[in-house]
């Protein structure tokens, strides 16, 4: 089994601590089709602003075409060819009317490596590259970004992760070597998991941390909690009120600012 992609280093802890937390009003309707065409409509209300988009996906053989139109009439298109060659997946994406937004992505996987690269399709592109080597239990990788316009590296990070069925640990050097992040995920029992994440900035000697837990109450009910060093406490309640349709309530309170209003959010995801 090939190692996880570099972007998956620390993902299990990151997902427990941040995934599905939402403090706006969000609605998603997904309509799959056995004919290879799927449709998804999403709307988000942030304060007094409403943002929405409609996306469709068409599958034919090993080719996938995604098209999305948002409330500002921007059109995003992505064409993906899986297994263009053994172990290689390519994707071409572009936005209309931004004629400089074109990008080509190439992904390569084998039993010992996972490599992703992308290049902007414009006169002064940004080159992105990340890769990981290892196996299903341990991954070591890094990522770099090079801006040809300024002839400089805008990003270079490195990380290592250890993954087992019941726990995962990761260590990442970020922000061009200025920040060290450590994360840990542990499955306590089949229904409960905990996670922690800590970051240290070498330049300012600043330490930050976040801890959280998740618990499956029953097959259709899921709750999460988290606490940050800045005093913010978050809770999440998710219920599958019908097959494949979820309603999620999120709340966050700043214990260091008791007079500040707490944040609340709701997300409704429907799939007929």
Question: 176: which DSSP letter?
Answer: G
Q: What are phi and psi of 4, to 5 degrees?
A: -70, 155
* Under 8 Å between Cβ of 212 and 19: no
What is the per-residue pLDDT for 97?
Answer: 83
Torsion of CA 78, 82, 85, 88, to 10 degrees: 80
**C-alpha span between 82 and 59 (Å, rounded):** 11
User: Which tokens belong to 234?
Assistant: 């978050």
What is the per-residue pLDDT for 83?
Answer: 87
What is the per-residue pLDDT for 156?
Answer: 94
Comparing CA positions, the residue from 15, 29, 33 lying closest to residue 246 is 29
Tell me the pTM: 0.90
* Under 8 Å between Cβ of 115 and 108: yes
- Looking at every residue in the chain, the average pLDDT score rounds to 93
Q: Is the pLDDT higher at 47 or at 205?
A: 205
24 Cβ neighbours under 8 A, 6+ residues apart = 44, 45, 46, 265
pLDDT band per the 50, 70, 90 thresholds, residue 94: very high
Fold of 6-270: Porin (2.40.160)
Q: Lowest-confidence range among 35-44, 133-142, 157-166?
A: 35-44
pLDDT for residue 180 is more than 70:
yes
Q: How many CA atoms within 13 Å lie on the side-chain side of 146?
A: 8
Task: Please report where in the chains the tokens 């084998």 appear, as a residue.
Answer: 110
């Amino acid at each position: 089994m090939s190692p996880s992609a570099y972007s998956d280093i620390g993902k299990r802890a990151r997902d427990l601590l941040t995934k599905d937390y939402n403090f706006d009003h969000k609605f998603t309707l997904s309509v799959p089709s056995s004919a290879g065409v799927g449709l998804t409509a999403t709307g988000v209300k942030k304060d007094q602003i409403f943002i929405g988009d409609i996306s469709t996906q068409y599958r034919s053989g090993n080719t996938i075409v995604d098209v999305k139109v948002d409330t500002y009439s921007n059109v995003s298109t992505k064409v993906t060819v899986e297994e263009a060659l053994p172990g290689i997946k390519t994707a071409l994406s572009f936005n209309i009317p931004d004629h400089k937004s074109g990008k080509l992505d190439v992904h390569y996987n084998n039993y010992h490596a996972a490599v992703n690269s992308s290049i902007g399709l414009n006169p002064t592109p940004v080159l992105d590259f990340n890769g990981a080597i290892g196996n299903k239990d341990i991954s070591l990788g890094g990522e770099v970004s090079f801006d040809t316009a300024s002839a400089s590296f805008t990003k270079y990070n490195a990380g290592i992760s250890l993954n087992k069925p019941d726990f995962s640990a990761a260590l990442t050097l970020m922000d061009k070597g200025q920040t060290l992040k450590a994360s840990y995920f542990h499955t306590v029992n089949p229904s409960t998991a905990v996670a922690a994440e800590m970051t240290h900035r070498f330049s300012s000697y600043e330490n930050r941390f976040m801890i959280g837990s998740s618990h499956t109450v029953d097959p259709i009910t899921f709750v999460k909690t988290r606490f940050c060093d800045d005093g913010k406490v978050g809770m999440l309640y998710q219920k599958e009120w019908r097959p494949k349709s979820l309603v999620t309530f999120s709340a966050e309170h700043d214990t260091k600012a008791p007079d500040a209003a707490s944040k609340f959010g709701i997300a409704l995801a429907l799939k007929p």
